Amino acid sequence: MDLLELLDRTLPGLGYGLVDIERSNHGKLLRVFIDKPEGVTVDDCALVSNHLIRFFQVEGIDYDRLEVSSPGLDRPLRKLKDFQRFVGEKATVRMNMALNGQRNFVGILRDADEEKLKIEIDGALVSLDMADIRKARLIPEI
């Protein structure tokens, strides 16, 4: 089982969802981004960090430094439930393959299912293949 699957199965038991993980510095720095409906506090990050230190030891996960944090206002959208949760919000979506010569889209998320993401761009509804999405992030309204 890979690290993403391990965390996806472990964090809900603590009351958190996994948003993303990043490895840098040749895999020695491990960043884990968590979320919960009411938002993430510093205490939440400390609690999850303390749990993961022991959990990684048991599972034999190799890292030198662990960082646990919230995904931020410009959080990535990775799973179907992320897209569905943020319907009505502005996002940027980058596709693997161009659609009508365009790979980057910015608009309001309108609907999402296993097959398609519908995003409103300048009043027009564009349908994107979910399987072809390379990267998507919320655009915070400040």
Of 24 and 108, which is predicted with more confidence?
A: 108
Q: Give the pLDDT mean for 104-109.
A: 97
Q: Which residue type does 136 have? A: A
Q: Is 141 helix (H, G, I), strand (E, B) or coil?
A: coil
Of 69, 92, 122, which closes a domain?
69
Dihedral (CA of 128, 129, 132, 135) sign = positive
Percent of the chain with pLDDT over 90: 80
Per DSSP, the three-state class of 132 is: helix
- Both 36 and 85 in one domain: the answer is no
Tell me the two tokens of residue 65: 């430094």
* Helix, coil or strand: residue 59: helix
Domain with 118 in it:
80-138
Residue with tokens 């993303």: 20
| Claim: this prediction has a pTM higher than 0.85 | no
Residues 15-31 have pLDDT tens digits of: 999 999 998 878 689 99
Q: How far apart are CA 101 and CA 97, in angstroms?
A: 9
Tokens at 21, concatenated = 């993980």
At 32-84, the pLDDT tens digits run 999 998 889 999 999 999 999 999 999 998 889 999 999 999 999 999 999 99
CATH of the domain at 41: 3.30.300.70
Rounded mean pLDDT, 106-120: 97
Which of 12, 44, 69 finishes a domain? 69
- State the CB neighbour count (10 A cutoff) for residue 8: 15
Number of domains in the chain: 2
Q: How far apart are CA 39 and CA 23, in angstroms?
A: 23
Residue 128 pLDDT > 70, yes or no?
A: yes
**CATH classification of the domain holding 107:** 2.30.30.100
